Amino acid sequence: MVARTVRHGVLFLVLAVVVSATEASPPQSVPAALPTPSVVAGLPPAQRVSNKFRNLDPEYHRASLWIRARSLIIGGTWLVGERRVAALPTVAPDVPALHHNSSRPTVTWIGHSTVLVQLDGVNFLTDPTWAGRSGPFGGFVGVRRYTPPAIAFDDLPRIDFVLISHDHYDHLDEPTVRHLASQFNPRFVVPLGIKKWLADRGITNAVELNWGESVKIKGLTVVCTPAQHGSGRTLADQGRRLWASWAVLGSKRFYFAGDTGYYRHFKDIGEALGPFDLAALPIGSYTPRALAKPVHMSPEEALQAWTDLRAAKFLGIHWGTFELAREPYDEPPRRIAEEVGRLHLDSDNVWILKPGVTTAW
């Protein structure tokens, strides 16, 4: 079994090298004039060195791609399959209520980092993926999804815009974004470099931003904010496209962390744009800690980030969906609960939602 898994992982790496944009692009209607970005005070722009983006932390260092791939191949939850993971219990969403809602601010966790947010009559998604497997060639190879999306794609309400945090396969799923473009033609709001990736696939209704830039969409202000992570879909494009977190500001303030390690950027964002009403923060895929710490927060660090952001409510995401990590699949919410108790935090403000639950915020 181990040998078969190793062969599968090697195939994953080899195929990742040759992934290209040669698939036919879907037809898409011509978008309205794209908004012009504005600069937001207090947030530094991302810098490039040798054509690769860099994190803010000058001491940032991550293990080589080969060491990370080897860890995933021999130690990830995909090695033992069903004995290590089980589908999370889900709740059937109230589809008519989602379609008819025009004013109530709500949030629905669909799974992994995919969240449906409704704010001021505008509907948007974060890092949408309806993939059954995350990886190259539309998930032909990669890591299996064990908790299905809580909302069927065809049950989604109108989607006005889509936030993408970075280009990793579990956050930028090609079949999903193609489907969204075809069904809704939403505006894709992406970090630098991903607009061209989308355009190569015929998706042109997109605006790309650097950290510290913002655009207006249907009355909401969308701000590109820093994250500590990385990018790359093949061995050849590591660091070529920017990674980011996002703030959406309207009658309420929403923050989406994307994928990130813990650093002072949370305090910077909280000071520049906070306080927030709701912060969606990743709580899973933090092991093995020596490899994951630079780019994935622990549950305890996620709660510290929530404090730094000066957010009223916490929503735990990025767990319980794909066979990505080495920690037990149900450990993240347990550690959140333990830390909430240790710090004497108000548990009513810390949300670990079942997929499909829609909550007002």
Residue 5 is predicted with a pLDDT of: 40
- Asked whether the bond before 294 is cis by omega within 30 degrees of 0, the reply is no
CA distances from residue 231 to 98, 129, 160, 183, 243 in whole angstroms, order as listed: 33, 17, 26, 27, 6
Distance CA 331, CA 145 (A): 17
User: Which residue type is seen at 313?
Assistant: K
Nearest-CA neighbor of 243 among 191, 285, 295, 208? Answer: 191
CA distances from residue 239 to 50, 65, 177, 228 in whole angstroms, order as listed: 10, 12, 21, 12
Residue 36 is predicted with a pLDDT of: 87
Residue 34 is predicted with a pLDDT of: 83
Task: For residue 206, give the CATH number of its domain.
Answer: 3.60.15.10
Q: Residue 187, SS3?
A: strand
Domain membership flag for residue 25? no
Domain membership flag for residue 23? no
pTM exceeding the 0.85 threshold for the entire prediction: yes
Number of domains in the chain: 1
Domain membership flag for residue 223? yes
Domain membership flag for residue 264? yes
Domain membership flag for residue 218? yes
Instruction: Provide the token pair at 122.
Output: 């505008």
| Residues spanned by the domain of 295 | 2-18+37-360
Residue 16 is predicted with a pLDDT of: 45
Q: What is the pLDDT along the chain (361 residues), one digit of tens a residue?
A: 333 443 444 444 444 443 433 344 444 544 567 888 999 999 999 999 999 999 999 989 766 565 556 555 555 444 444 347 899 999 999 999 999 999 999 999 999 999 999 999 999 999 999 999 998 876 677 899 999 999 999 999 999 999 999 999 999 999 999 999 999 999 999 999 999 999 999 999 999 999 999 999 999 999 999 999 999 999 899 999 999 999 999 999 999 999 999 999 999 999 999 999 999 999 999 998 888 999 999 999 999 999 999 999 999 999 999 998 889 999 999 999 999 999 999 999 999 999 999 999 9
The answer to whether the CB of 16 falls within 8 A of the CB of 234 is yes
Q: Are strands 114-119 and 106-111 parallel, antiparallel or unpaired?
A: antiparallel
Domain membership flag for residue 30? no
Domain membership flag for residue 29? no
The answer to whether the CB of 141 falls within 8 A of the CB of 15 is yes
Residue 84 is predicted with a pLDDT of: 74
Domain membership flag for residue 28? no
Distance CA 94, CA 96 (A): 6
Distance CA 272, CA 75 (A): 40
Residue 142 is predicted with a pLDDT of: 87
